[in-house]
Structure 1
Amino acid sequence: MVIGIIGIVYIFLILAAYGYGVKTLLFKKNFSKSSYKLALILFWGLVVVTTLASFASLFIRINWEFQLFLLSGAILIILLIVKKPITFQNNIFKKFTLSQKIGALFLVGCLILTLIQVVQEPTNPDTGIYHAQTIHWIESFPVVPGLANLHERLGYNSSWLILNAVFSFSFLGIQSFHLVSGFLFLAMVLSFYQGVHNLLAKKFLLSNFIRLGFFLAAFFFLFDQVSSPGTDMPATLFIWFVLAESISLLENKTDLLDSREPLILSLICVFILTVKLSTVPILLLPLLWIIYKLRKKSFNQIGQFVLLSFVIMIPYIVRNFVLTGYPVFPGFPFDLFHFDWALPLDRVKEERVVIHWFAMLSRVPLEDFLSMSLKDQTIKWFANLIPRYKAILITIPVGVVFNLFLCVFKKWRAFIRENVGLILLLLVFITGDLFWFLSAPSIRFGFGFLLGSVFLVLFPIVTFLANQLEKFQGMAVWFILIAFVGLALINFRTAIHYKDFSSVILFPKDYPTWSSSPCEFNNFHLLCQANYNSCWYSPFPCAISGNMHIEMRGSDYRDGFRQVP
């Protein structure tokens, strides 16, 4: 745990340096004080570091060489750009009321339990199947042509796994650390807690209620993922962050034409796509911003957005081409360039089908699933969901209808007119819900859009009532405190089962090691998994199964792999 905390502090310092430095160089003007929130600085640093690493991974392994470059750059930024101590807008620890003191006490407890969870053994099954092996490949070689031929999921190109390789510190020879998800979780809950803190001071703004919802949801739905380098949790947290910040911009009447905050949030939306491809509907937010600027004939920043988006996307698309032979994978079954390492088209098409089947009804044989109508698939899928997931899905349409019903009241219509931007946000998130359902409707894949939609239909009503009814304000504060107590108790129950806590006092737990056995390919052999399609981090390289139709393109792994007849 001690080493884990040191690693998290190091990640914080590197991201803060790059975030502040690059933001200062690129966006010197037109910032409100809110734009210097620590969370926004960290996320911009995360985008910059990940993009740099993505470019570097095209030519070199992401190991000690890149870490040395990264550290040197951070030192230069501090020496050349940071002329005076950096201060960030952060009012959490000023002038506490009694309720805020109680809230802060439980926050500290939740953060401590989070640190305990961060250093536990990863439990995400996808980490065993391909996350850990992908990170090992990134640490060991530049991007490998046709790597997806060994296993399709090694072609699931996510910039999040590159960032995990950056901060795995495998070159130390101790282990490949998995701390980045935990760092992100801690940063996000602290950012969301600002809304909780404001609510406890009876500042009943929608953005504060939204942040309260995301704070609680992060612990209830994502807490078990903080020790795994998976892509679901970061994609969800990024989407929530963008939504909360977007609502803040609307509340503050931010000038969307000249302010830089919408530009930065739009670029973060582009980055989210490189973390998880299924988040593509989030790009509707920057599209709406661009349309608004074009309608107002304000063309500044659009060119900057296009250029920087291009910079973010170039390494992502190039890596896709090298790993799979396609610009987007999975989901683009057109072989444009006929690279010799490209996955066969039939495997690309099959992967799309398998993803949808696995996310929807994995316990039903694939052949039976394909023979079912969409209606039958949907009915069986919904019936298999646990009650709280059913409640999430039902709340969205019911909440929309109820909001429409409230329009019979004059005060509610006035409230909606004052917050008309919320309608556009809700439309974006409902589009995300539909895309999620049609592509891969596993609930854990859709938390970002689903809970965003739930809170967008519920919390405007809560905000309206809180500002109309004085008695409701006191009830809201008590609800928050009770929710915090319940949250702390639930997380404590999760944490106290760690009977071997002494084993993580110094170091985080390593990836598990599962059994493997030799398997044959066309002109080489590897070790293959022997349990539940999982290789984890070691042995390396490791495949799911042998295939005599796969051969090495040269004498070295970095030459890549291809399929032969």
Structure 2
Amino acid sequence: MFAKILIFCENIPIKTLILYIFTDTIFINMAIVLISWFIIFFVLFTAGDFFISIYNLICKRKEVYSVPDTILFGLFFTIIPLSVTSFFIPSNHYILFACIALCIGYWIWKRERISLLLQKLKEISNLAFYQKVLLAFLFLSFILIAVWAPNGFDAMSYHYANIRWNEEYPVTPGIANLEDRFGFNSNLFLLDAIFTLRLFLGYPVYTVQSLIAILIFSWILLEVFRSKFELKRVILFIVSVVYFYYEHRGISDTSTDIIPGLVTFYLVVKIILYPESFRQNYLLYIFVPVALAGFKLSAAPVALLSIFLAIAVIRQKEYKPLIFITSLLFLYFVLWMARTVIISGYLIYPLHEINLFAFDWQVPVETAVKQRFLIGYYANEYMAEAFRNGIAVHNKYYIILSFIYLLTASSVVVSLYTTFKSRNTIYKYVLATLTLCLCYWFFFAHDFRFGSGYVFAAIFTGAACLSGKKTYFFPRLSIASISLLILWMTVFSFRSASYYDECLKDQLDVTEKSKRITRILLHPYSAKDKMAALKENEAADEDFSIKQHKLNNSVSIGISTYPSGWYGDNIPCIANKEGTPDFWTIPDIRWIEARGNSIKNGFRRKREFINK
């Protein structure tokens, strides 16, 4: 990795290199990430604080939550009003302006709380100098991967387009007929849409995932500092660094797997470190695990944790909190399902078995069946083959992954043995949930992206069970280890620029290294450049190749002519079915017609192609 960075910078005069590194443009790109994080943080923290206040007021509770907890509440609570407005207007900068105005109004109303929040920030100012430096470098590592986010298959296939649809149009009937994966209807894309800053920058940024990640990683590092480098928490940080290594691509972009995985990891870790919080913080451990399913349906097994706590609450006859939380979750999922019905015609796509409607825009059952098959094929057979091939050629990624799998299995066995021996009820709840999640992941969707949060949560649980109630301290060794790991994270994140460098050199024919470095520092890794990088053996061409196709006199959509079918955030658009395998795209432009004279009227399958 260090060699790659040296090769990347070779033949560049040192003065020029220093100038590039410290030029205003790179700081502007970093500042954009920080500003984006601040805006998202402000909106989500305010929404979360409001949510907690209303809950405590109505239920007569006094639950207190940390900054990451509050952000998570805001993350899910914001979706409710955003879903309502999405039925009538696009989710874009106007909604963001309204959110910011409401947030400012809230803090004017609750201005006495501002001083209390500022007191919490004093904890950071009281850190030792070297601890502040470590925290700063941790932030820098996440900023770098956000600035030069590597390209991703799913992002270029439909994530960017789905987000752009939410920005440009209200929820549109039958758009899953253009790209059936729109039918998954992840709430993440609805949230991403209002935070792209496209109006101000001229291009989108996607930083919701990286903000959630840096908040959780910072919380872990602060836990290490607070505990004076207690061994259990040091191990937790080491586990989180391995998590970063395997999931940095998803953290930096629009992956729908990152937030469910990270949040599950965070919840399990918090219960292990603070078992008493599980019986005290109803809102966190009942609401959040269930709400994750609206971001990624495969996260549904995590809700078992909520069920355990809900049963305990019922036994204690504390009905008010449970009624409040279940009512809000009911509203949350009713809105999510209503959007899914409008997009695909199904309550939950691609679960075609739940077929309650006969709308003309409904995605044909055979398409849903095929998508179900492809999800299972890719997540199991295809990824298993990639794993076997990776081990055969001694690929370090897969070799380390095989050790992680072995460590996960060992951790589960150790955890089960020690937990049932000690009769720790709360740990039993955690282990039962993790076991269900791991089994679901392993047998039904064996792609590491889907289960990484469960895997690393299980590993830490095993380590915690081994250490028991005793506390061990190795401060000097721990400080040295954590310092080296954070330095490695920063250098590793800088490597993200090498993805962009390869794109500029191989696909866009920018042969002069100094020009490539200038461009890397001047511009983020745009969707246009990512498209070029994904073309592999095609001729280098910086422009998208999109051909317009008329559905009627008023409605036209683009057809991506790339064999891969990618079209970035161009909308309305569809992949070219001719020459593109089902593995990459299912809908065919020849099957589709407009439902009216406006894109807002939506799309449907032509009757003569319903059974194709």
Q: Give the TM-score category using the shorter length.
A: 0.7 to 0.9
Q: Deviation at 1:3?
A: 2.4
CA drift at 1:275: 0.9
What SS does structure 1 have at the residue aligned with 2:192? helix
Any residues of structure 2 matched to 1:377-526 within 5 Å, and which? 386-403=398-415, 413=421, 416-417=422-423, 419-464=424-469, 466-467=470-471, 472-474=472-474, 478-479=477-478, 481-495=480-494, 498=497, 503=519, 508-512=524-528, 514=531, 515-518=544-547, 520=549, 523=552, 525-526=556-557
Matches within 5 A, 1:29-40: 29-31=60-62, 35-40=64-69
SS at match of 1:551: strand
C-alpha distance in 2 between matches for 1:493 and 1:379: 23
Task: Output the amino acid matched with 2:485.
Answer: G
Q: Quick one: which of 154, 158, 165 aligns to 1:130?
A: 158
2:271 pairs with one of 246, 254, 257: 246
Question: For residue 110 of structure 1, what is the aligned residue in structure 2?
Answer: 138
Q: State whether structure 2 residue 558 is matched by structure 1 residue 527.
A: yes
Q: Partner of 2:593: helix, strand, or coil?
A: strand
Q: What residue number does 2:73 align with? A: 44
Amino acid at match of 2:430: L
Question: Alignment partner for residue 553 of structure 1, among 587, 591, 595?
Answer: 595
Cα deviation, residue 359, structure 1 = 1.4
> How many angstroms does 1:421 deviate by?
1.2
Structure 1 gap segments, 5+ residues each: 365-376
Q: Distance in 1 between matches of 2:451 and 2:429?
A: 19
Q: 1:178 aligned to 206, 209, 224, which one?
A: 206
What does residue 23 of structure 1 align with? 52
* Cα shift at 1:62: 0.8
1:374 corresponding residue in structure 2: none
Hey, what's the Cα distance between the residues in 2 that align with 1:512 and 1:448? 31
State the Cα RMSD in Å: 3.0
Give me the whole-angstrom Cα distance separating, in 2, the residues matched to 1:400 and 1:437: 14
Structure 2: state its 5+ residue gaps.
1-28, 502-515, 532-543, 578-587
Q: Is the 8 A contact 1:39 1:188 kept in 2?
A: yes
CA distance in 2 between partners of 1:159 and 1:294 (Å):
30
Once the 2 structures are TM-superposed, how far is the Cα of residue 503 of structure 1 from its aligned partner? Answer: 4.6
Q: Does 1:190 align with 2:232?
A: no
**Partner of 2:116: helix, strand, or coil?**
coil
Measured at CA, do residues 554 and 387 of structure 1 come closer, stay the same or move farther in structure 2, by a change above 3 Å? same
Question: How far did 1:441 drift?
Answer: 1.2
Give the match's secondary structure for 2:78.
helix
Alignment partner, residue 57 of structure 1:
86
Q: How does 1:56-455 map to 2 (within 5 A)?
A: 56-88=85-117, 89=120, 92-93=123-124, 96=127, 102-172=130-200, 174-199=202-227, 201-203=228-230, 208=233, 211-213=236-238, 215-250=240-275, 253-254=276-277, 256=279, 259=280, 261-362=281-382, 386-403=398-415, 413=421, 416-417=422-423, 419-455=424-460
What's the secondary structure of 1:61's corresponding residue? coil
Cα distance in structure 2, aligned partners of 1:209 and 1:159:
34
> Partner letter of residue 181 of structure 2?
R
> Do 1:146 and 1:325's aligned partners in 2 also have CA atoms closer than 8 Å?
yes
8 Å contact 1:333–1:348 — kept in the other structure? Answer: no
CA positional deviation for 1:394: 2.1
SS of the residue corresponding to residue 338 of structure 1 reads coil
Contact kept? 1:281, 1:428, Cα under 8 Å: yes
Summarize deviations over 1:233-282 as a string: whole Å, max 9, x none. Answer: 122112122223333441xx3482xx4x2223321122211111100011
Q: Which amino acid aligns with 1:93?
A: I
Q: Please state whether the residue corresponding to 1:285 is helix, strand or coil.
A: helix
Distance 1:306 1:120, change over 3 A: same
Whole-Å Cα distance in 1 between the matches of residues 331 and 181 of structure 2?
25
The count of aligned residue pairs is 527
Aligned 8 A contact 1:521 1:548 in 2 = no
CA contact (8 A) 2:55 2:324 kept: no
> How big is each residue's C-alpha offset from its partner over 1:185-205, in whole Å with a ceiling of 9 and x where there is no partner?
222211222222234x1546x
Q: Is the 8 A contact 1:123 1:227 kept in 2?
A: no
Is the contact made by 1:521 and 1:550 (CA closer than 8 Å) also made in structure 2? no
CA–CA separation in structure 1 for the residues paired with 2:125 and 2:313: 38
Q: What TM-score do the two structures reach when normalised by structure 2?
A: 0.79
Aligned-partner Cα distance in 2 for 1:193–1:239: 18
> C-alpha separation between the residues in 2 aligned to 1:336 and 1:538?
32
Per the TM alignment, residue 54 of structure 1 is displaced from its structure 2 partner at its CA by: 1.9
Compared CA separation, residues 448 and 521, structure 1 to 2 (3 A): farther
Paired residue for 2:573? 541
Using the alignment, how far apart are the partners of 1:94 and 1:361 within structure 2? 51
Structure 1 contact 146–341 (Cα < 8 Å) conserved: yes
Structure 1 residues 382 and 424: CA distance shift in structure 2, 3 A: farther
The Cα shift of 1:92 comes to: 4.8
Deviations 1:38-57 (A, max 9, x none): 11222222222232212211
Structure 1 distance, partners of 2:571, 2:360, is 28
Residue 109 and residue 352 in structure 1: after superposition, are their counterparts in 2 closer, same or farther (change >3 A)? same
| Identity of matched residues, % | 19
Pick closer, same or farther for the CA change 1:504–1:31 going to 2, 3 Å: farther
